[in-house]
Amino acid sequence: MILDRLEHAAFYRGLSPQIAAALDYLQTTDLAALADGRYELDGERLVAIVQRYRPKPLRRAVWESHRRYVDVQYVVSGVERMGWAALSDALPVRAAYDAAKDAAFYDLAARDGLLFAVGPGSFAVFAPHDVHAPGLAPAGAPPGEVCKVVMKCLLAV
């Protein structure tokens, strides 16, 4: 898992061509002007998903992992918390991996994962060895609306 600000994106360009393209897109696009929805930028190899929502309470956290894609989750406006846990920690599985959804889901109490705030201009990168819970309300404050872009970066096969 990586957590950083978009102005440091150049440091991560070498991770993969798709991650470099995702970071370039985030830096050069007027993201606030985009309508919610799914944008295929390079077929299924690079997809942008624009979302606006109010973060959910911690008790409704959905812990997930992916095998085919790396997520680059960028907060355009608002603040949300995200959770992270290592897949190698043998977490209890709620729903086994579904290739069609590229997702597995886990039963994980919030206290069992690392929680962190992600504000405007910041991004988190979640790889296949990362279990994550996005879209959570910030601690100690009522949640405001969040605008977030999730970049789905296909891993080389």
Q: Say which DSSP state 62 is in.
A: -
pTM of the entire predicted model: 0.94
Domain range for 43: 2-154
Tell me how far apart the alpha carbons of residues 151 and 73 are, in angstroms, rounded to a whole number: 6
pLDDT (average), residues 21-25: 98
- Name the pLDDT band for 139 (thresholds 50, 70, 90): confident
pLDDT of residue 79: 96
Q: Contact at 8 Å (CB) between 124 and 3? A: yes
The region of weakest confidence among 33-37, 106-110, 151-155 is 106-110
Mean pLDDT score, 146-150: 98
DSSP state at residue 54 = P
3-state SS, residue 45:
coil
Q: How far is CA 104 from the centre of its chain?
A: 15
44-90: pLDDT as tens digits: 999 999 999 999 998 899 999 999 999 999 999 999 999 999 988 77
Q: Are strands 37-40 and 46-53 parallel, antiparallel or unpaired?
A: antiparallel
Q: Sheet containing 2-5: give its strands across.
A: 2-5, 122-126, 69-77, 146-154, 46-53, 37-40
For position 127, which CATH number holds? 2.60.120.370
- According to DSSP, the residues that pair with 37 across neighbouring strands are 50
Evaluate if residue 12 carries a pLDDT over 70. Answer: yes
As for how many domains the chain has, the answer is 1
> How much is the pLDDT for 117?
95
Note the pLDDT of residue 110: 58
Instruction: Report the half-sphere exposure of 16 (CA within 13 A, side-chain side).
Output: 17
Nearest to 135 by CA among 146, 120, 151: 146
| Element containing residue 46 per DSSP (H, E) | strand 46-53
* Amino acid letter, 123: F
